[in-house]
Structure 1
Amino acid sequence: MYHTGLDVGSTTVKIFIVDENMKPVYTKYKRHLSDVRNAVLALILEACEELGEIHTTLAVTGSGGVGLSQHIGIPFVQEVIAGTAAVKRVAPQTNVAIELGGEDAKITYFEVSPEQRMNGTCAGGTGAFIDQMASLLQTDADGLNALAAKHTEIYPIAARCGVFAKTDVQSLLNEGASKENIAASVLQAVVTQTISTLACGKPIRGNIAFLGGPLYYNSELRKRFIETLKLTPEHIVFPENAHLFVSFGAAVLSAEYGEIDLHEVAEKIKNLGQSSFEKLNVLPPLFKEPSELEAFQARHAKNVAKTRSLKDFKGDCYLGVDAGSTTTKAVLIDSEGAILYSHYGSNSGNPLKKIGEILSELYDIMPKGANIRYTGVTGYGEKMLMTAYGFDIGEVETIAHYKAAEFFLPGVDFILDIGGQDMKCTRLKNGAIENIMLNEACSSGCGSFIEVFAKSIGMPVSEFAKEALKAKEPADLGSRCTVFMNSKVKQAQKDGASVADISAGLSYSVVKNVLQKVIKVKDPKDLGEKIIVQGGTFFNDAILRSFELISGREVVRPDIAGLMGAFGMALMAKNKAASAE
């Protein structure tokens, strides 16, 4: 008789089959990439193919196990109980177990009465957090581990919020910190987050077990814990199959239940239709009819910046650069404000190198009669670029964006800018800035979140955005913490939402986050009458449409929405040159 445990987690699925002596017979661990049902089905079919006809008991556990248990009628075991059973059987000497999963973190104290502490409202410092940080460094979790192994220095990084951590990481990249040191700093942030928010001062001592996928696969993360806790080798418990511990515990506990046929379980999963799952909360489609989309696109096609060919240009021109958190933008204009050249692209974590490439390209294509008379820079990398390249003037982003907005919409009284990691709302009155609001406490749903999700399903963000326009039933994903919103997306996918419905749902979430958490608007009238929206995120027509639907306002989005900071700096450089005469 065999015993089988199935662990359906937030990012992975695991199967563990043992014999009557509780010795491993078959194990498998794989990421489900949000397709939970088919991933579980594949695990079971692969096990059947490997082992043939077997007699087994079966129990399911994990955050995604409850629904599976209900739909196909197999026993469910709470993962805390499963994990405890596994520890007591394999590593009974354990005093404290630290377990990290895809979106959860746990510390269990094995005392007379076991005490477990786990993360609640924040999923910072978990496996999904590590994946997000790895993506920012243009690698994966394994690559992050390899980088961290070569570190020479540790920097403080916020692990309480995935997006704020991105800001810290981006600042370090902008300052020239090595990816090796940043990778190790990310892992140290995970350690600090886990110990400070879960242990909350309660000592972690004795024999410490390290469990869960992130701690199993990431040797440098274990090292960070070991060094921080000052553990000696005899107090380190790192059992075989530590990444499968919960599924092993479920297998052990399944012995209490009756025999089940794995082939029958596979058939039941195959026959599960989307109607077997709970109906999603849905939102109105962005466009009810094709004619609505056509009218929307025609209206916004009018807001076009004047351009002019650089090839035959002669005379003075003015360069503006916006060194953003994840992108670098540059605009070259003539004395009338017509754009001669523009660039919008990722800084690949090295803004200094990127602006060098842009300047080299610009000087290569500039005709002899053209002369860059004055230059200006704004953004995160402002001071660094002024020092490195000798830009004439620097200015805060808010002023640069206002100058650009006023150029397109004289008398503008409200500017909303959504960038990769931040949101800014500026209220103006009689040409003066009256109020500025930033996303201080939460960055859920910024542009980078949508970009990371699109990348995670192998789709360019531009295509992902276009899908939203076709959505029939946009998924209501709320506007919570980035990592938990990831969870909501995964739940929506499991419940049968299409890519279009999820993309449209995320667009709604971005706007809800801005209006409800940043601006805290109660009445659309508070937004003003002349509204400009800008920032690269507004290149996404779905987000633009969501804003107009939720706010009840028609707004102006210039066709250079992502270049407004650079365009504003070019205008300021032109004005500065004129005043210097």
Structure 2
Amino acid sequence: MRTLGIDVGSTTVKAVFCEGDAVLWRDYQRHNTHQAEKVLEFLVRLEAECGLQPGRDRLFFTGSGAGVIAPLVGGRIVQEVVAVAAAVERLHPDVHFVSEIGGEDMKTIFFTASESGKGKQIYMQSACSGGTGTFIEKTARKLRIPPEDLARMPYDGHTLHKISSKCGIFAEADANSLLKSGVKVEEIVASLFEAVVYQNLATLTKGNTPMPQVLLLGGPNCFFLGLQQAWRHHLGLLWQERGVALPEDATPEMLITVPADALYYGALGCVEVAGTEPPDSGRYVGGTTLRWWVEEGQHAAKAKEGGTPLGGDPAALADFRARYGATAGPPPVGAEGHRGPVILGCDFGSTTAKAVALAPDGRLLHTAYTPSKGNPIEDARALFRDISAAGLTEIGALALTGYGKDLLRDILGADEAVVETVAHARSAIAVFPDADVICDVGGTDVKIMMLRQGTVADFRLNSQCSSGNGAFLQGVAERYGIRLEDYAEKAFAARAMPSLAMGCGVFLQSDIVNQQRKGWSAEEIMAALAAVLPLNVWVYAGQLNNLRAAGRRFVLQGGTHRNLAVVKAQVDFITARIPDAEIRVHPYAGEAGAMGAALSALDAWSPGKATRFRGFDAIEALTWRTTTSEDTVCRWCTVNCKRSFIDVELPGAPGRPWSKVPLEPGWQRVIAANSCPKGLVEDVNEMRAVKDAMEENAGVSPNIGALVREEAFRSVRLVA
């Protein structure tokens, strides 16, 4: 009798076709949210290649996506952990602990001896992506690591850093902070593997001790060398701490196994369970009904369950495109014909770096917009190469804004460092002087500014939660293999969309996983994500339940509003509450912060005024090194933040000979990854150095006020 076992997981479909103990066919492929389509493709291939026959052969399904698909082809469903346990008991009778890590879930199984044979304790996590394959892949994409390189990157031998293991979104933020602090990518990836193993051991063992032998299953455990090394390291330590006696001459490496077919244990378990079921159970009825479901049925079901498409009817979408499809401003006039100084504004954001060059009369000469390379100095180099290539080499003034403004101010020689909210408000008011509300949605933050008579009267800022920001949308698009530039077209093409919950990005991620399991496609989920963004921006992050009270004239800016799907969702949301609202998109939405910085610099500039800008050649020739070690840890409080020291070679810099990480003259230090202002001071040695400098300066430039007070309150001893 021939049996097909199919594991329809959250990210992949695995299948094995067996006759007795012989495996006739097997395959493993990503489904990119099209679970039913991928299963149908497998069945068509099996009928052609192996003679899979309706009415004769049997199908048993497992996995998070099996519930809808199995009944359509006559298959039986096996619970995931039951399937994996059945395969392990059959193929590895000596194993006592199993960890299977999937795309969006984790399972652990403890096998213990009992009077009736083997007892099993089973723990599973499927509500959050923390510690899963998606957790690793999402963060690796942020680090721009190709999958083939990620698979080979080791855990052993690298310095480790703290990365949140409970949430994939927080892990991304931690990894991004480490990268911008100059930490090596290899160390961040090793720390990621550390976080995955920690999350599995902390969450899914429930205090039990994983005993040898140990089996590691699932794609991440199979593909990532560093993850296997992290398991061996931590289990070895755990056995040593808890006094677990290992077999003589055995090492942890020998007792922790990753089988060659670790990907297929769910599917193999289905075949094992089929052997215990009645012969007529799970008879294949053919793929006709599944094909109908793929082509028609699922769309009707989604239309009934889901909401109105984001694009609306064709006429409404055409009207929207006519109004907002060409909101970009006129192209910059360029350097040709321009003579004299240029006023430059740069915005070093969390995910992108932007620059705007203005003529002294305010004309826009040039814009630059580039994804962040992770290191702020590299970001600066990329921007200034672009500006130089445009022929704008005479810089009259330079202003910075964004997260990197303070770090780069002295390194680049900026004349001003402009607070982000000030820069964005200045830019919006310059284009729309009658604006009531400015909404800036960036990569990792949301800013809402309420204006009264051209000045900011109130504002809301959300930089601590991923809900409603652009990086969340970008991460989902990348996960589905869709370019950010194609996001809007994919979202508008969806004929229906699921309802996603407003609120915390962690819960939103879980909601996306659940909707995917119901069969919603990538395009439909992306449309829903754009549709829920205004709720997260205005209600959840901005706490503005009465939007009309904020005003009537709205300006949308920030790189996220370059996405027309987001603009459509914002327009629908605002006009549903304020029918007469005027909603305008900044003509240079992505560069709005940089434009505001440039305008601030222009306000302070005057002809002949010298700039602090170091020059293009000096920036291109910058040399720096990064140190992250025990000597860089901040000890001012019990948190002990693991900071990074970025040391840049600059002429005339004083160095830091007193430091635990000494710095010779000619070098300047920037401290990154500090969690509070205290972390900008290295340690007690720096405090002493600052105090010595103050005392030395006091002798040269005495504090007259202090001398007067001292003299006025000096006690006088009277002599009789």
TM-score, normalised with respect to structure 2: 0.72
1:476 and 2:483 are equivalent in the alignment? no
Deviation per CA, 1:380-415, whole angstroms, max 9, x where unpaired? Answer: 333343243222222332222222222223364433
CA contact (8 A) 2:58 2:281 kept: yes
Q: CA deviation at 1:211?
A: 1.4
SS at match of 2:585: coil
Most deviating of 426-435 and 554-563: 426-435
Residue 343 of structure 1 is aligned with which of 325, 346, 368? 368
Deviation per CA, 1:458-513, whole angstroms, max 9, x where unpaired? Answer: 54323331344455534434446464355356457x45x684x5543231022232
Q: CA deviation at 1:135?
A: 1.7
Residue 257 of structure 1 is aligned with which of 278, 291, 294? 278
- Residue number in structure 2 paired with 1:115: 121
- Residue number in structure 1 paired with 2:354: 329
- Residue number in structure 2 paired with 1:243: 263
The equivalences for 1:93-242 within 5 A come to 93-111=94-112, 113-148=119-154, 152-230=158-236, 232-242=252-262
Alignment size in residue pairs: 574
CA contact (8 A) 1:478 1:485 kept: yes
How far apart in 1 are the matches of 2:514 and 2:467?
A: 13
The equivalences for 1:406-485 within 5 A come to 406-410=429-433, 412-428=435-451, 431-432=455-456, 434-441=458-465, 443-444=466-467, 446-469=469-492, 472-479=495-502, 481=506, 483-485=509-511
How far apart in 2 are the matches of 1:19 and 1:96?
A: 29
Alignment CA distance shift 1:275-1:472 (3 Å): closer
Instruction: Supply the AA of the counterpart residue of 2:64.
Output: S
1:59 and 2:60 are equivalent in the alignment? yes
Residue 310 of structure 1 is aligned with which of 327, 335, 342? 335
CA contact (8 A) 2:342 2:397 kept: yes
Deviation per CA, 1:349-392, whole angstroms, max 9, x where unpaired? Answer: 3442232132133234336xx73121112223333432432222
Identity %, equivalent residues:
28
1:68 and 2:69 are equivalent in the alignment? yes
Q: CA deviation at 1:234?
A: 4.3
Instruction: Supply the AA of the counterpart residue of 1:270.
Output: R
Most deviating of 416-425 and 339-348: 416-425
How far apart in 2 are the matches of 1:45 and 1:271?
A: 14
CA contact (8 A) 1:124 1:483 kept: no
- Residue number in structure 1 paired with 2:242: none
- Residue number in structure 1 paired with 2:694: none
RCO higher in structure (CA 8 A, sep ≥6)? 1
How far apart in 2 are the matches of 1:425 and 1:121?
A: 32
Q: Could you say what the CA RMSD is over the residues aligned between the two structures, in angstroms?
A: 3.1
- Which structure would you say has the larger Rg? 2
Most deviating of 92-101 and 426-435: 426-435
CA contact (8 A) 1:94 1:237 kept: no
How far apart in 1 are the matches of 2:109 and 2:345?
A: 55
SS at match of 2:165: coil
Deviation per CA, 1:419-465, whole angstroms, max 9, x where unpaired? Answer: 22332333455624534230534x24532343344445554323331
SS at match of 1:230: helix
- Residue number in structure 2 paired with 1:562: 590
CA contact (8 A) 1:163 1:421 kept: no
Q: CA deviation at 1:238?
A: 2.8
Q: CA deviation at 1:106?
A: 1.8
Q: CA deviation at 1:76?
A: 0.8
How far apart in 1 are the matches of 2:63 and 2:318?
A: 42
Query: Unaligned stretches of 5+ in structure 2?
Result: 238-251, 576-580, 610-720
Q: CA deviation at 1:64?
A: 0.6
CA contact (8 A) 1:283 1:475 kept: no
Q: CA deviation at 1:564?
A: 1.2
CA contact (8 A) 1:129 1:483 kept: no
How far apart in 2 are the matches of 1:433 and 1:93?
A: 69
How far apart in 2 are the matches of 1:131 and 1:402?
A: 37
Alignment CA distance shift 1:541-1:148 (3 Å): same
TM-score, normalised with respect to structure 1: 0.88
Instruction: Supply the AA of the counterpart residue of 2:278.
Output: Y
How far apart in 1 are the matches of 2:143 and 2:403?
A: 18
Q: CA deviation at 1:347?
A: 2.4
Instruction: Supply the AA of the counterpart residue of 2:383.
Output: I
How far apart in 2 are the matches of 1:214 and 1:554?
A: 49
SS at match of 2:380: helix
1:282 and 2:307 are equivalent in the alignment? yes
How far apart in 2 are the matches of 1:247 and 1:291?
A: 47
Instruction: Supply the AA of the counterpart residue of 2:14.
Output: K
How far apart in 2 are the matches of 1:302 and 1:183?
A: 40
Query: Unaligned stretches of 5+ in structure 1?
Result: none
Q: CA deviation at 1:560?
A: 0.6
Instruction: Supply the AA of the counterpart residue of 2:194.
Output: Q
Alignment CA distance shift 1:526-1:218 (3 Å): farther
How far apart in 2 are the matches of 1:130 and 1:103?
A: 10
Alignment CA distance shift 1:389-1:8 (3 Å): same
Residue 363 of structure 1 is aligned with which of 355, 375, 388? 388
- Residue number in structure 1 paired with 2:36: 37
- Residue number in structure 1 paired with 2:635: none
Deviation per CA, 1:236-256, whole angstroms, max 9, x where unpaired? Answer: 133342221111111100111
- Residue number in structure 1 paired with 2:5: 5
Q: CA deviation at 1:548?
A: 1.8
- Residue number in structure 2 paired with 1:79: 80
Instruction: Supply the AA of the counterpart residue of 2:205.
Output: A
Instruction: Supply the AA of the counterpart residue of 2:41.
Output: A
